[in-house]
Structure 1
Amino acid sequence: MKYLLSVMAFLFAVAGFSQSKISGYITNSNNEKLAGVLVHIEENNAETTTDANGFYQFTTLPKGTNKLIFFLSGYEILNKTVTHLEADAVVNVTLNEKEQHLEEVIVSTFFNKIQAQNVMKVEHAKVSELKENGATSLIDGLTTIAGVSQISTGTSIGKPVIRGLSGNRVLVYSQGIRVENQQFGEEHGLGVNSAGVESVEVIKGPASLLYGSDALGGVIYLNPEKYASYQEKETSFEQQYFSNTQGTATTFGFKASPSNFKFLIRGNYTSHADYKVPSGERIINTRFIENDLKMGIGYANTKMATDFRYNFNQLDLGLPEEDLENSGFRNPMFPKQDVANHALSLNQKVYFKNSKIEGDFGYTLNNRKELEEADEIALSMKLQTASYNVKYFLPKFIRLEAIVGIQGIDQTNTNFGEELLIPDANVKDFGTFLTTNYAWNSNVLQAGIRYDNRKISTQTHGIEGEEGYFEAIDKQFDSFNASVGYKTDLSESINSRLNIASGFRAPNLSELTSNGVHEGSNRYEIGDSSLKNEQNFQVDLNLEYKSQHFEIFVNGFYNHINNYIYITPTGAEIDGNDVYNYIQNNASLFGGEAGIHFHPHPFDWLHFTSSFENVTGKQGDNNLPLIPANQWKNNIRTEFTLKDWLQKGYASVFFNYTFAQNNFSTFETKTNDYLLVNLAIGGKIKIGKNYLNASVNGNNLLNKTYVNHLSRLKTDGIYNIGRNIIGTISFDL
């Protein structure tokens, strides 16, 4: 902790308070002023848009060289570099017309390039777009991205799965710091609300070079909402209603940037009753209540940028069990989970003439309780995590960019309940890395190397030979990893990406120490303290063709994992519970995604998208558990404007077909295929001088009876949710 404070003090100490600005006008080839052009500064991820006169302005800029990127749909993307910025600069630009989809800057990769310039294929989606696709929650929205699925427990708990890997193999980042909420349990949810999240990015494949242990399967990066534009303020309100669960979600936010200081606050209250299956039966105790608060304050000038964020999330959610008698309507019954998450983060940037230092510092407190009765706290765990991630961006040498950095966490788990899933423990991570990016013509080469060390120490608990006994362990895990990626344009319309990377994951506390009944999984689990690192090697190939009215992509991957850790039944029983052991063997996963996007001329208002995703997981001749079934997703979308009273109108019909899962593990069963039909319609409605955003989504319109292969309620014969109509209104006050 002293080390963290010293680094933070250094970053603040070198910051100054001088100012300079860049401003200008943006026109087209006919010298017409262009409004709504998005202008992005690569060095600090600042953004603004041009006003009705095509004017833009940045008042607080990093010292030295700044790269500006200009975006507007229907025009070519333009890059401008302003060198040695010491005083005010005027940059007027002209954009040439060309059908071009707006590309977002990718934040989750260290070099922060737009996707066209990025070596890694990173999926990016705005949360508003996920809601348009009918997402009922953040994790539900993530599953609309090809290659992403979820392990679900009803509608309240969802855990992300990337290309067949889940749990501790997938890292989730929010506010620039890792989400740590005892994610080893299948019934432990994400604990992040979509309110106040601007967009999501998904890295599919080992990201250990970027983020260290636990990024073996990939990273989900949640970008917090941006502050208001300079000297602007915004007040917004959103209300949602869900017919199936008679649920409501209310969100209110305010943000302002009166000067170099900027701040925001956003609160959300969500409440759902038990969900209803197509037969009309409600699944008792799948209800939940969620409270979420996000706050932020930032400051920026020429030499520094500071962003401090706080998020409080509380979940009160029921756990469905057999023979429960219904009581009440909306408040969760026993047994239930009471989970509170506190997350504080600080992002600090310091700019030099031709380089910069960036640090992310975080503290999270996860307080997880499971209650059997009102006065009986069966499980209570407090997980405290301090984290740091400091990167130095070296001066650019011709076309070569390089970053060196250190990362780490200091984590403590403490038990307070009658039952223990894992013992009291301390985990310390330390990693150091070097990554480089070299670009020439239409080619980009990126390579890096990293070393990590993880220390795990636990305390003895219980009586040897009895349930609940945990032997103290003191172990270290080390790993070197490397990656190399190459992106090139094979022609004006075709580009390709090839990435080869290694990754690793140290075994978690549950895998090392378990000795007892895991109520959430209904089995007696036994860990193995001799488990080794999981070490993988993955090859990922991406091909894309883009023309003015047609796009196609193909992604393929092969992932070999040495010492893959999994749980398997032994055939024995203890106190009526089946016994499962954690073991490890080599495994392989392979598959990919392919899709098209067609919007024919002259019907530019019409869009057709279709994608197919596949993953196969093998351990020798056996199938790995929790592998999602193949999916084929189709969407027909129209976009329209009705005079001046409806702007940005849209209507979409989704046909999502999930194939039967015949490749199941030894303790799973076959899952049948099913087709879901969804509908979405919405737009901006003009009321007086103001606009109201309104949408209606219909999920599972045909009220299809089905069960997803990754549903934890499948073994109890419980189906997934039936027809659900979602109404949403939002507006600025």
Structure 2
Amino acid sequence: RFADIPPGRYTITVRGLGFAPLARDVTIRGATTLSVTLNRTSLWVEPVTVTATRAPLAAGLSPLPTQALSEDRLLREQSVSLAHALGSLPGINALTTGQQIGKPVIRGLTGPRVLVLEDGSRLEDYSWSDEDGPSVDARLAQRVEVIRGPASVLYGSDALGGVVNVIPEELPDANGGPRAVRSGFEISAASNNAEVEGAARVEGASGGWGWRLFGIGRFASSLHTPAGELDNTGFNALSGEAAVGTRGARGSTTLRYTRYGGEFKLLEAEGPASGEAGGPERKLSDDRVQVAGDYVVGGVRLETKAQWQRHSLIEVSDTGVSPGGQPLEGTAFDLLLNTFTLDVLAHHAAGPRLRGTFGVSGIHQTNDTRGSIPLVPGARVRSGALFAFEQAELGHVTLLVGGRVDVRRLTADSNALLKRGPEQRDYTAWSGNAGIVYRAGAAVALTANVGRAWRAPTLFELFSNGAHLGEARYEIGDARLQPEAGTNLDLGVRWQREHFRLELAAYRNAIGRFIFITPTDSFVTVSTSPRDSLRVYRYRQADARLVGGEAALEVAVAAPLTVRARADAVRGTNQAAREPLPLVPPARAALGAEVHRTGLGWADRAYAGAEVEVATRQTRLNPLDIPTGGYTLLNLSAGLVRPMLGRIGRVDIAVKNVTNASYRSFLSRYKEFALDPGRNVVLRVSLGE
């Protein structure tokens, strides 16, 4: 029964352990009663997506390939890196710098071509750098949704390859109930790098008000491979959130502060030079304040999001030792990014068959190059956009159509050290999307989607002129670069029954003016580099094409046993040079099985599973690529939930690379001079209420 809820149309989701989740549209007019029946199943599919249309939508009605990691799956992945956690989804890989840093790779695209959001707001960082992953802790999320494929029509520049949306848990409220306060604690440890994590959460509600405090601390020493220890690969990180909000008959307002930061040591290309004590180290600090509102005005649901983000990135490296034998550090670069974003969305419905969203978005961003060694000039970015997205349900057919116009201005300051005067670049771009879902019966759906997306060149691609020590190269931008524009065709089949789920997808993404970096025959001597000289790399453009597909299968074989399989492959080509694109992941597949039991004498519920992952050797190599062999990994996991110390206790244990196999991931930045990590046993104990 729903009471004290503003009149309007809502999407309600119902979940229960051992039952298939259900999504249902409900029109609220005063006190409203809804009766539902859940079907038993051991399969789990997130019933609703809020990322594919910027409004709640039953996942089966989206023509865009959308998937999600639930909080339970995120707990099992037990990773400090968001990209590592997402790597278990088909079509998604991680470009890794050790265990602590990773960038999501969606269908062969990464960096500035994959947009990361937190609760629908953009996360801005220095995506130019492979060592600057998304500044978000997956442990703070209730779930993570992913769009595989372009989504610029909803989110603007950078959503060329896909979107990752990290969605936090809703604040509690005590409307109609007594005041409540609850707490939770976690501790985990990993064997490979002696990683230790501790987390604490306390939250409460009184009337329509709710609040939460959540803190997470991590410390890890160096990684170990089957060949031995990798020096200078440890890290420490501190993240958390503080949030307060109110919910009433007219809507809700939430104020949230989030922090992500730490010091991450980097294994230097070619190893540390003579006289160095270690290698480079990244010092990252990211602070965000978001104010979100959701109100019903007449027949329209008005959603607002305003966010300020401060992103600081400093790299220091050892320059030698003092007469007393102490290591001396020098600053390689010091960058500060301040970003303010604003989104205003009007969600409307015209009867039971038509609904949609009109939106306005704006960005104001400043980049400050601090310190004595600039990589890029200081700059400002201002952009604005108008967009609309409509959904129509016509019997067995669901249509989604949208369009967007973006205007963007980048103003770069003069910089004598970089030998550049003031520069200005203005861009106007349009994006569009048209998709269809045809339900050929109760269990089968056919999907097709055509989308156009774009990406503006980054400040680094345009104006960089400096050493990138982590890559052992000197990078020079090209101020003449034009925006990338991609057109993507997606086709899919979804087949789901009570104990069976199959999803197949195929795509072709043609990207005009694809930006890439390539080496030259020139070298530059850099005083801050321990090397004699660094090779010069320059940014270039050419048309590109990516073609690939994904498959996911899940079968409940018997009452306690579920079998899962997934596979993906992508082929990227530089059309001008007729050569493969760099760092395109090789084909891979995985097969796993999991047993679930409930109502045991020693646990309320428990699970145990195993997965074999196979990665092939990449045979289509770009001249810049470093070849690696194929490999097979075995991973095990188990866990249980039972009362502990008067609380709800949960224990999860995972063993990654059980056989301690020696391998090099094609997407590892360390592959040229180090193996990937060996066996890793991770134990997590959680206590909640």
Q: TM-score, normalised by structure 1?
A: 0.87
Match of 2:470 among 520, 526, 530: 520
Alignment match, 1:346? 291
Q: Is the 8 A contact 2:82 2:102 kept in 1?
A: no
Equivalent position amino acid for 2:445 in 1: N
Pairs within 5 Å for 1:571-720: 571-575=521-525, 576-600=533-557, 603-620=558-575, 621-641=578-598, 643-687=600-644, 690-715=647-672, 717-720=673-676
What amino acid does structure 1 have at the position aligned with 2:668? S
User: What residue number does 2:310 align with?
Assistant: 365
Q: CA RMSD in A?
A: 2.1
CA deviation string 1:59-88 (max 9, x = no partner): 542234445444445468363633433xxx
The answer on whether the counterparts of 1:658 and 1:674 sit within 8 Å (CA) in structure 2 is yes
- Residue in structure 2 matched with residue 45 of structure 1 by the alignment: none
Q: Distance in 1 between matches of 2:276 and 2:583?
A: 33
Instruction: Sort the Cα spacing of 1:669 and 1:376 in 2 relative to 1 into closer, same or farther, 3 A.
Output: closer
User: Letter of the aligned partner of 1:570 in structure 2?
Assistant: T
CA distance in 1, matches of 2:378, 2:25: 54
How far has the Cα of 1:567 moved from its partner? 0.7
Are residue 93 (structure 1) and residue 43 (structure 2) matched?
Answer: no
Structure 1 residues 60 and 223, CA gap change in structure 2 (3 angstroms): farther
The answer to whether 1:721 aligns with 2:677 is: yes
Could you tell me which amino acid in structure 2 is paired with residue 675 of structure 1?
T
Cα offset for 1:505?
0.4
What residue in structure 2 maps to residue 251 of structure 1? 199
Distance 1:424 1:628, change over 3 A: same
Residue 280 of structure 2 corresponds to which residue in structure 1?
335
- Contact 1:84/1:353, CA 8 A, preserved across alignment: no
The aligned residue for residue 36 of structure 1 is: none
Of 537-546 and 643-652, more deviation after overlay is shown by: 643-652
Query: Which has the higher mean CA deviation after the structures are superposed, 153-162 or 235-244?
Result: 153-162
Matched letter for residue 323 of structure 1: P
Cα pair 1:115 1:121 within 8 Å, conserved: no
AA partner of residue 119 (structure 1): P
Per-residue deviation, residues 334-375 of structure 1 (Å, max 9, x unmatched)? 531111100111111121232121111100001111122566
Q: Secondary structure at the match of 2:678?
A: coil
Q: CA deviation at 1:714?
A: 1.5
- 1:191-590 superposed matches below 5 A: 191-228=135-172, 230=174, 231-279=179-227, 281-321=228-268, 322-323=271-272, 335-373=280-318, 376-462=330-416, 468-575=418-525, 576-590=533-547
Q: Is the 8 A contact 1:195 1:266 kept in 2?
A: no
Q: Partners of 1:414 and 1:105 in 2: how far apart?
A: 40
Q: Secondary structure of the equivalent of 2:229?
A: coil
3-state DSSP class of the match of 2:470? coil
The residue identity in structure 2 corresponding to 1:668 is D
- Is the contact between residue 524 and residue 578 of structure 1 (CA under 8 Å) also seen in structure 2? yes
Give the partner amino acid of 1:429.
S
Tell me if the contact between 1:296 and 1:308 (Cα under 8 Å) persists in the aligned partners. yes
Q: Distance in 2 between matches of 1:701 and 1:390?
A: 49
Distance 1:698 1:640 in 2: 20
**Counterpart secondary structure, 2:333:** strand
2:435 alignment partner, SS class:
strand
Post-superposition offset of 1:217: 1.0
Tell whether the 8 Å contact from 1:589 to 1:615 is kept in structure 2 after alignment: yes
Is the alpha carbon distance of 1:685 and 1:624 closer, same or farther for their aligned partners in structure 2, counting shifts above 3 Å? same
Local SS of the residue matching 2:224: coil
Give the direction of change, closer, same or farther, for the CA distance of 1:297–1:492 in structure 2 (3 Å limit): same
Match of 2:324 in 1: none
Which of 138, 142, 149 is equivalent to 2:86? 142
**What SS does structure 2 have at the residue aligned with 1:257?**
strand
Give the whole-Å Cα distance in 1 for the aligned partners of 2:188 and 2:274.
Answer: 29
Q: Does the aligned pair in 1 maintain the 2:461–2:478 contact within 8 Å?
A: yes
Contact 2:9 2:25 in 1 (8 A): no
Tell me, yes or no, if structure 1 residue 103 matches structure 2 residue 59.
Answer: no
Task: Tell me how far apart the structure 2 counterparts of residues 477 and 367 of structure 1 sit (CA, whole Å).
Answer: 27
C-alpha distance in structure 2 between counterparts of 1:623 and 1:68, whole Å: 46
What amino acid is aligned across from residue 128 of structure 2 in structure 1? F
CA shift for structure 1 position 729: 0.3
The question of whether the paired residues in 2 share the 8 Å contact of 1:176 and 1:345 is answered with: no
1:294-322 CA distances to partner (integer Å, 9 max, x unpaired)? 11111111112101111111111112232
**Which residue, 154, 161, 164 being the options, matches 2:105?**
161
The CA distance in 1 between the partners of 2:272 and 2:282, in whole Å, is: 18
In the alignment, is the contact (CA less than 8 A) between 2:401 and 2:435 conserved in 1?
A: yes
CA positional deviation for 1:449: 0.9
Letter in 1 for 2:209: F
Partners of 1:162 and 1:217 within 8 A in 2: yes
Output the CA distance in 2 between the equivalents of 1:668 and 1:154: 18
* Offset of residue 469 of structure 1: 2.7
- Determine the C-alpha separation between the residues in 1 that align with 2:363 and 2:272: 43
How many angstroms apart in 2 are the aligned matches of 1:77 and 1:514? 50
After superposing the two structures, state which structure 1 stretch, 98-107 or 569-578, moved more: 98-107
Distance of 1:703 and 1:709 partners within structure 2? 18
Tell me the residue number matched to 2:61.
117
Moved more, 663-672 or 718-727: 663-672
Deviation track 1:711-733 (CA, whole Å, cap 9, x = no partner) reads 11122x21111100000100126
For 2:364, give the aligned amino acid. D
The answer (yes or no) to whether the contact 1:195–1:267 under 8 Å persists in 2 is no
Alpha-carbon shift at residue 126 of structure 1 (Å)? 1.3
* Equivalent residues of 1:406, 1:433 under 8 A apart: yes
* TM-score, structure 2 as length reference: 0.92
Note the C-alpha offset of 1:697: 0.5
Cα contact 1:276–1:283 (8 A) shared by 2: yes
Q: 5+ residue gaps in structure 1?
A: 1-22, 24-57
Provide structure 2 residue ranges, at least 5 long, that are not aligned to the other structure: 319-327, 526-532
In structure 2, C-alpha distance between the alignment counterparts of 1:364 and 1:688, rounded to whole Å:
40
Match of 1:49?
A: none
Counterpart amino acid of residue 267 in structure 1 = G
Aligned length: 662
Distance 1:94 1:181, change over 3 A: closer
Going from structure 1 to structure 2, the CA distance change for 1:686 and 1:327 (only over 3 Å counts) comes to farther
What are the superposed Cα offsets for residues 132-174 of structure 1, whole Å, 9 maximum, x if unpaired?
2454532211111111111111122111111111111111001
What whole-Å deviation, never above 9, does each CA across 1:194-217 have from its counterpart, x for those lacking one? 232111011111110000011111
One-letter amino acid of the counterpart of residue 302, structure 1: A
- The match for 1:77 is 22
Are residues 527 and 303 of structure 1, via their aligned partners in 2, closer, same or farther at CA, if it must alter by over 3 Å? same
The C-alpha deviation readout for 1:540-571, integer Å capped at 9, x for no partner, is 11101112222221110000001000011123
Identity of aligned residues (%): 25
**What's the offset of the Cα at 1:520?**
2.4
Q: Would the aligned equivalents of 2:13 and 2:48 in 1 still touch at CA under 8 Å?
A: no
For 2:275 and 2:609, locate their aligned partners in 1 and report how far apart those are by CA, in whole Å.
38
Q: Which moved more, 1:487-496 or 1:529-538?
A: 487-496
Secondary structure of residue in 1 paired with 2:663: coil
Q: Secondary structure at the match of 2:668?
A: coil
Change (3 A) 1:657 1:506: same
